Amino acid sequence: MSITKKSKKIGILTAGGDCPGLNAAIRGVGKTAIVEYGMEVLGFNAGFLGLINGDYIELKEAQLSGILTLGGTILGTSREKPYKLVSENGEENHKPEKIIETYKNLGLDAVVCIGGNGTMKTADLLSKEGLNIIDCHRCHRPFTYHGQLTPKGDDYRNYGAQCWLAGAVLGDCRWWRHHPHP
């Protein structure tokens, strides 16, 4: 699936674990859609939960400025698994149907899903339901960390990720200093 010049309204969500670079991805997709293609862009809060519950904000170009160096994600994230067979209280799961309903009710032409492996699995399943889902698989840098602080043998994937992540974390400290949490 893809975004075309005919697309007029897209959604963006970030799902899974938090990591550096999410706001940069939101900004890149959002500004390109708005400025280059004149699209309306909706940001779904808390990942797939926002798509399930219809919880979104309209993203304007001005909102996307200044977020490039902020830590986290302006949209929030969750580890929601919409295709889990049974909900925690034992009831049947109707979340995929709610996502399809939200997608159609909002008149979306596509949803850009930014996340890791779990997000991509859900995005693939939604695509099979007929939705136009664009999966932006995060660079595995933050997700490849498994405790190794130096490269082992020829496997340098985790080492580079940790160096990159360390720099990103230091940069995020600036944001947290100005946005304290209890």
Let me know whether 66 and 24 are in one domain: yes
**CA 41 to mean position of chain CA atoms:** 14
Higher pLDDT: 10 or 138? It is: 10
Let me know whether 161 and 124 are in one domain: no
| Average confidence score pLDDT of the chain | 78
Cβ pair 158, 145 in contact under 8 A: yes
Higher pLDDT: 104 or 72? It is: 104
Per-residue pLDDT tens digits for 13-31 = 999 988 888 999 899 999 9
Per-residue pLDDT tens digits for 99-118 = 999 999 999 999 999 988 88
Let me know whether 169 and 83 are in one domain: no
Query: Which residue segment(s) compose the domain that 168 sits in?
Result: 142-182
How do 56-59 and 40-44 pair as beta strands?
Answer: antiparallel
